[in-house]
Amino acid sequence: MLWNRSNTLALATHKCVICRGSGLTLGRAGTLKACDCVLREIFKICHNRFRHCVTKEKYMSKVTLEIHSGPNRRGTWGLKQEEYVADFLKVTQRTLTPEEYTIFKYRFLLGADWKLCIRRLKMERGPFFHAVYRIQTKLGQIFSELEPYALYPVDEYFSTAHRSQSVHALLPRTNNVLPIRPPLRQVAQHVEDELKAA
């Protein structure tokens, strides 16, 4: 996923002291990357969809036909919600260490309260919450950068039509009307200067 201001601004926490609500931080080699608050929000969105898919009545599940691009335009039938649940669980098992997966299982899969988790895992409150935040950040990044089909954005995962090329707006061309072209390079440079100053 390409991290830019339009992808991260709505997901960022406005009170975040690292990104100051922009959702972007300066990574290694001067590249922009998503702030941890954005990655945690991505995890929460994917986890909420996972919970919805698991708790939904099974008779409400439907089979969908997904058409693939190519010369013969073949399609495959699938159960998108069950596929999402399986992908969510497999990605977390592959990504997390055994200790992290134990915390993830108690807190997010079984839905245990934090007090019960720290008693069961024999941890203190501070290290437990730091581990939970690390897990959310790590999984949020994996869910958004997974290829070829990422779990986030969720609506693109569940859509049956995938775009093979960009869509351009069809505007009537007249001699009197010119399209608006904001100075994006200046805005991007201004954002980078603010991040470097912070």
The domain spans of the chain are 38-158
Binning pLDDT at 50, 70 and 90, where does residue 158 land? confident
Is the pLDDT score of 169 beyond 90?
no
* 73: amino acid identity, one letter: R
Residue whose token pair is 């977390």: 92
Query: What's the mean pLDDT in 183-190?
Result: 61
Is the pLDDT score of 163 beyond 60?
no
* 145: amino acid identity, one letter: E
d(C-alpha 135, C-alpha 100), whole Å:
7
The DSSP symbol for 71 reads: S
Query: What's the mean pLDDT in 13-37?
Result: 85
Judged by DSSP in three states, 174 sits in coil
Q: What are phi and psi of 78, to 5 degrees?
A: -160, 165
Is the pLDDT score of 3 beyond 90?
no
Do 3 and 33 meet the contact criterion of CB atoms below 8 Å apart? yes
Task: Give pLDDT, residue 179.
Answer: 55
Angle of CA points 33, 131, 21, to nearest 5°? 35
Report field, pTM of the whole predicted structure over 0.85: no
pLDDT digits (tens, 9 = 90+) for 120-151: 999 999 999 999 999 999 999 999 988 877 88
What are the CA-CA distances from residue 90 to residues 39, 62, 83, 139, 151 (Å)?
Answer: 19, 22, 10, 12, 12
Is the pLDDT score of 177 beyond 70?
no
